Structure 1
Amino acid sequence: MPITRRSALAAATLALPAAAAAQARGWPNRPVRIVIPYAPGGPVEIPGRFIAEHLAARLGQPFVVETRPGAGGALGTKQVIGTTDQHTLLMVTGAVAIQPAVQPDIGYDPVAELTPISLVSEASMGFMVRPSAAFRDLPGLIAAAKAAPGRITYGSSGNGTTTHMAAALFGARAGITWQHVPYRGGGQLISGFLAGDVDVMSGDLATLLPHVREGRGVLLAVTTPDRVPVVPDVPSITEVVPGTGIAIWFGLFAPRNFPEDATARLVAEFAPLRSGSPLGERMAAAGGRLLLTGPADLSERLRRELPLWRQVVADAGIRPE
């Protein structure tokens, strides 16, 4: 049978899935970037760099962590979405579900344009005050905020971050008005808090605990629905204001059209980390837990939280950027 242009195109089309599968089986065949779209020194770098080292050792290619801060994580996320090399990954916090609510013109749909690889971990956040604060528990904070609406300030690691929204959710459901002060990352937030620039700091426990243990801060509450084993005497915010519990979570994504075989290979390589790994122990010591449960849980978490944060933005009166 003679080869026509139509038959050649058909044969090429049929060959595409096989070629993609072959490429995925050889994945990675060059260095892989893991983009973290936040300022250096944040909590997501701990699991990000550990996983990068683990994957490099298992897969025989360098995994290079790059921080690309800007716009609450949106800038680095856009850069990853725009890549087509199939060797760029994205490690983000749950802020990936928040940003579309606070930036309606964000320019991308995280559900449609990101491929979920795995929910990596989750941890509690907390509200911390200095030892000299006039209140040392949540009822005291609520009373002070209601006595002087808008006067109490709280700092977060940036507008639209999980630390911001945990405090916004609490404030909206507690019926208080307090003033948000966003910083450019956790490092600047700690500096501002210790300098006395804000009354309350909303941060992840990994960042807060060293300051609590050294007497520079007092934890008012943790943000998860239940208490955290590393600080069992610190109440959950839900004990004072029900329905306000939220965790900070980290997820690993790739751009859309990422090969399924490459996703499966990454998830398979996570198996040794799920029990008894130094990363799991480090997460537990900071009030978190390692998950690495694969794409389904990450996809479900993203889809569930998108409408939640739209509602919180509306309830808290947060102005879109």
Structure 2
Amino acid sequence: MAMMNRRRVLGLMGAAAFAPASARVMAQASAPSDPFPSRPITLWVPWPAGGATDLTMRLLAELASQRLGQRVLIENRAGAGGTLAMPVLQQAAPDGYTIAQLPQPALRAPHIQRLLWDPIRDTTPIIQLTGVTFGIVVPAASALHGVDDVFAYARANPGRITIATNGVGTTPHVVMDELFARRGLTYVHVPYKGTSEQMLAVSSGQVMVGVNSNGFAPFVDNGALRLLATFGEHRTKRWPQVPTLKELGHGIVATSPYGLVGPSGMAPAVVKVLHDAFRSAMNDPAHVAELAKYDQTLDYLGPEDYGRALREAFAAEKRTVERLGLAKGGG
């Protein structure tokens, strides 16, 4: 009997010895993961460092970092008309630590060429931020003083006028293609990876005309470039003397709203954390003032509405590409 009691005691002691380890394993299995975010977040910007979008996104990332308690690190991946962040998102884990700016060309490119990624299928919408002021600029000393002068020169000098944009398939390129095609005119397209590089080329006379986003603002304000027209619904507050394409009778309005997205399949709770931090950051007076430097204003949409807007824009871009005959390879 004494032996049985001793064995029982030893058994109970053994069970007690193993219990903490077993409990730890069970606790680890059932415990939630570390609160998001627990490490830095990478925000991919598909434009070169130093351009208008890069500068505003860097400030936004800094402000969002303060709210998230973790750094938001900017990575630039320029080229291909602003679409090179898409392959990164497609391959990234949907954990919220990899996000990207999604510009309008990413909604257009799949209709122009065959691509392995899809801007709707492969993303999770987080927040729409703002839109872009596009414009047509020429060197200050240019003899071209209006959009009609550009067409007149192209008509008198077939295939000789050089026009720079920020890449094939970008909004400036599509708009100029449509304007020239309507008139049966041709031009030499000179694509650039970034706005700063392009504006330097135009202001120095290497290219006759530049069409780009509002990164041209400092060059216009310092007198190096002349702004012929903008693409918005109304004239800008910054350059109220400059007409819009719509006002000039061309029937085109293009603002290319953009926002932030993550990989497909992100958890709603993670999306909410990112959305809330970036919404607060985008409304920070410092960010609003930075956007104003490029005549941009806030154009907020939450995840659901932004997702709907992206789907509508994706369908609209397909119609535009088909109308202009830009589709290639059955894309």
> TM-score range with shorter-chain normalisation?
0.7 to 0.9
CA shift, 1:210, in A, is 1.2
Q: Is residue 220 of structure 2 the alignment partner of residue 215 of structure 1?
A: no
Q: Is residue 261 of structure 2 the alignment partner of residue 283 of structure 1?
A: no
* Equivalent position of 1:228 in the other structure: 236
Gaps of 5+ in 1: 1-18
Q: Is residue 145 of structure 2 the alignment partner of residue 127 of structure 1?
A: no
Query: Cα distance 1:170–1:295, how it changes in 2: closer, same or farther (>3 A)?
Result: farther
Give TM-score scaled by structure 1 length.
0.85
After superposition, where does 1:179-258 map in structure 2 within 5 Å? Answer: 179-205=188-214, 207-258=215-266
Q: Distance in 2 between matches of 1:90 and 1:166?
A: 25
| Mapped contact 2:163–2:188 kept (Cα < 8 A) | yes
Q: Distance in 2 between matches of 1:79 and 1:276?
A: 29
Equivalent position SS for 1:120: strand
| Mapped contact 2:166–2:194 kept (Cα < 8 A) | yes
Equivalent residue for 1:312, pick from 289, 300, 320: 320
Q: Distance in 2 between matches of 1:219 and 1:160?
A: 22
Q: Distance in 1 between matches of 2:86 and 2:302?
A: 20
Q: Is residue 144 of structure 2 the alignment partner of residue 162 of structure 1?
A: no
| Mapped contact 2:139–2:204 kept (Cα < 8 A) | no
Q: Distance in 1 between matches of 2:92 and 2:328?
A: 27
CA shift, 1:73, in A, is 3.2
Give TM-score scaled by structure 2 length.
0.82
Q: Is residue 110 of structure 2 the alignment partner of residue 100 of structure 1?
A: yes
Structure with max Cα Rg: 2
Query: Cα distance 1:154–1:301, how it changes in 2: closer, same or farther (>3 A)?
Result: farther
Q: Distance in 1 between matches of 2:127 and 2:221?
A: 32
Q: Distance in 1 between matches of 2:211 and 2:277?
A: 34
* Equivalent position of 1:8 in the other structure: none
Query: Cα distance 1:314–1:146, how it changes in 2: closer, same or farther (>3 A)?
Result: farther
CA shift, 1:51, in A, is 2.1
CA shift, 1:173, in A, is 4.4
* Equivalent position of 2:23 in the other structure: none
* Equivalent position of 2:13 in the other structure: none
* Equivalent position of 2:100 in the other structure: 90
CA shift, 1:146, in A, is 2.7
Query: Cα distance 1:31–1:283, how it changes in 2: closer, same or farther (>3 A)?
Result: same
Query: Cα distance 1:43–1:99, how it changes in 2: closer, same or farther (>3 A)?
Result: farther
| Mapped contact 2:94–2:263 kept (Cα < 8 A) | no
* Equivalent position of 1:300 in the other structure: 308
Query: Cα distance 1:57–1:274, how it changes in 2: closer, same or farther (>3 A)?
Result: closer
Query: Cα distance 1:317–1:143, how it changes in 2: closer, same or farther (>3 A)?
Result: farther
Q: Quote the sequence identity (%).
A: 27
CA shift, 1:306, in A, is 2.3
Query: Cα distance 1:175–1:240, how it changes in 2: closer, same or farther (>3 A)?
Result: farther
* Equivalent position of 1:137 in the other structure: 146
| Mapped contact 1:101–1:313 kept (Cα < 8 A) | yes
Equivalent position SS for 2:189: strand
Query: Cα distance 1:72–1:200, how it changes in 2: closer, same or farther (>3 A)?
Result: same
Query: Cα distance 1:231–1:316, how it changes in 2: closer, same or farther (>3 A)?
Result: same
Query: Cα distance 1:309–1:171, how it changes in 2: closer, same or farther (>3 A)?
Result: farther
| Residues 239-270 of structure 1 deviation map (CA, whole Å, 9 limit, x = unaligned) | 22332110132210000011111111222223
Equivalent position SS for 2:297: strand
Give the number of aligned pairs. 300
Equivalent position SS for 2:314: helix
